[in-house]
Amino acid sequence: MTIQEIRAFNRFYTNLIGALNYSKHLYTPYTLTESRLLYELAHAPGTDAAELRAELSLDAGYLSRMLTKFEREGLVERGPSERDARRQRITLTQQGRGTAALLDERAQEAVGTLLDRVEPDKRSRLAEALRTAREILSDDETAADGRRGTVRRDGPVLREPVPGDLGWIVQRHGAVYTAEYGWDIAFEGSVARIVADYAEDHDERLERVWIAELDGRPVGSIMCVRDETPDTARLRLLLVEPEARGHGLGGQLVQAVVDFARNAGYREVVLWTNDILTAARKIYMRAGFTLVAENPHHSYGADLVGQDWRLPLVDESVAGSDS
């Protein structure tokens, strides 16, 4: 019975996502396997061919043919590995990074379209069911044919954004806050303006964006930008996807901003949030932020209470003295 259920689900899901239809897959000229290869190259810069072959359980000849195709199209470059000259190092070109970002964006849109058909109160059940299936099927044992038959289970990591990530921040803020709080599209527009301002003009010495990644996929974000007040950094756009909560990612993201701001020479970090975001407020308090002001307002289709929080980065009693 279990075998038949798994096979039935495989047939259902591959048809659902269009995996069997070459021309339909994300509306690009790339097959599912080629898209996955581009994804791996985008998220693991400097990977060598042997690692790719092991990670994706691909035949060496098949992988070589795909890489040759990508090289011919200007998507990848090949050279000797820095760790082992006998191995071949594979990196994406600028064109390749753009192609990988487009594929990732379309994959996000495709999954978003699927989720639009699922009632909000059922999405957590779906995420839990998928997570359970991955955990059960991801035992670190060798498959019968001698190849590794595991699903990669990386710990959470923070990284700099790659092309497509800033758009992901906007899209996921809009989707998550609508699902959890019922906020309207004006919130997504507000996030889009913040992201656009950063993308168009920012000083990397003083401003930074982090993407939280779990199992090779983005699951969270945060931003540190200059505030209008001199020597002040502003924390913005903290987000952790519902299925990634419980790993301490929110605390890691906030701490990344605090550490960066301190090293950049800021004297304090400030942020603005709303009182209904209780989980986020607990993270801020644990990081040492204190509430300094509250103001009711009507935004995003809801009556809210905005809050200003502040974290000094220098000893104010010492900083304010003449000694």
Which of 120-124, 290-294, 313-317, 319-323 has the weakest average pLDDT? 319-323
Paired residues of 312 in beta bridges: 268
Q: How far is CA 126 from the centre of its chain?
A: 19
Please tell us whether the domain made up of 2-117 is placed in CATH 1.10.10.10. yes
Share of the chain above pLDDT 90, in %: 45
Task: For the chain, give the mean pLDDT.
Answer: 83
Which of 17-26, 100-109, 239-248 has the weakest average pLDDT? 17-26
pLDDT exceeds cutoff 90 at 79: no
List the domain boundaries for the chain: 2-117, 157-319
pLDDT exceeds cutoff 80 at 203: yes
In degrees and rounded to multiples of 5, residue 145 shows phi and psi of: -90, 5
Q: What is the pLDDT of residue 151?
A: 41
Cα(110)–Cα(103) distance, integer angstroms: 10
Unique residue bearing structure tokens 């998550």 = 176
Cα(192)–Cα(184) distance, integer angstroms: 14
Amino acid at 187: F
Strand pairing report for 232-240 and 268-274: parallel
Paired residues of 224 in beta bridges: 208, 235
Paired residues of 308 in beta bridges: 272, 293
Q: What is the pLDDT of residue 185?
A: 94
CATH architecture designation of domain 157-319: 3-Layer(aba) Sandwich (3.40)
pLDDT digits 0-9 by tens, 17-45:
666 654 455 567 788 888 888 888 887 65
Strand pairing report for 157-159 and 302-312: unpaired
Q: What is the pLDDT of residue 150?
A: 37
pLDDT exceeds cutoff 50 at 112: yes
Q: What is the pLDDT of residue 149?
A: 37
pLDDT digits 0-9 by tens, 12-23:
877 776 666 544
Q: What is the pLDDT of residue 85?
A: 63
pLDDT digits 0-9 by tens, 222-242:
999 999 998 999 999 999 998
| Residue 38: closest CA among 91, 113, 112 | 91
